[in-house]
Amino acid sequence: MKTDSIFYRLFQEFPSIFFELIGNSPEVAADYQFSSVEIKQTAFRIDGVFIPETSQQPIYFVEIQFQEDSGIYSRLFTEINLYLRQNQPENNWLAFVIYPNRNIDTASKTHYSESFVSGRVTIIYLDDLGESRSLPIGVATIKLIIENENRAIEQARNLITRTNQEVGSLPQQQQLLQIIETILVYKFPRMDIEEIQQMFGLSELKQTRVYQQAFAEGRQEGEQKGEQKGRQEGELRGKLLAVPAMLAAGLTVEQIAQALDLSVDDVIKAAQLGN
């Protein structure tokens, strides 16, 4: 699984998840900008850096490590020191290293023990976070990455339900569901998208890939007619095909009408036809 890219996407789209992960208030994320930083004139790249808007707040460095690496700490401190030298920030800094479990953390800390003792550098083991159902939804999504296939099925279904129930913003629902879908695709590489949809009840992800496919199918039907009216009818058909599954995902009629640019009456009619 391409864990670095998934974490980057999580922290880029939902920076609050990182602050929940380290025990801070998720509201702190509003004061930070997340990016992956390449150190100039070197081969080093820091997995993630949360850069604050003011000099009073600390810079947070993030390293994702899912394989054994005897040189991770020497590399991490080199990257941080080069960053500090090149950018000369006034801010204090903290670093977090994220492992799936303790077995991967095999590198020597001898030369950097003071930084670990002082709390300047903190290690997070994802399998130590506790039961996913009791975690904030963003942190539980991170933990889905390390679940075995059997537990991933249960946890993914729970996360999809929680996302639809707990995330009030429709765009944020879509973003988080897309990330969950991405994790599932990586966790089940031997399955095609239809099999994954069936296993996980991914009609609940209709507003992501499934909706796009339905919309594309309807639009294609219209384009085959070769007329502007046909294309418009095809696009409308694609939207209407998406309605029943979006209702199954827990969205309200009003939310679906807004998302698809349909009238409430059109959504209700499409729902009735789908039953």
Q: What is the mean pLDDT of the chain?
A: 82
CATH 3.40.1350.10 fits 3-146, yes or no: yes
Query: CATH 3.40.1350.10 in the chain, residues?
Result: 3-146
Is residue 125 pLDDT above 80, yes or no? Answer: yes
Is residue 177 pLDDT above 90, yes or no? Answer: no
Per-residue pLDDT at 172: 82
SS3 152: helix
Q: What is the DSSP letter of 103?
A: G
Phi, psi for residue 74 in degrees, rounded to 5: -65, -40
What pTM, to 2 d.p., does this model score? Answer: 0.72
* Strand-strand pairing, 32-38 and 45-52: antiparallel
Q: Rounded distance, CA 158 to CA 109, Å?
A: 38
Asked whether the beta carbons of 222 and 230 are under 8 A apart, the reply is yes
pLDDT tens per residue across span 85-108: 999 999 999 999 999 999 999 999
Is residue 273 pLDDT above 80, yes or no? Answer: no
Strand partners, 49: 35, 61
- Per-residue pLDDT band for 204 (boundaries 50, 70, 90) equals very low
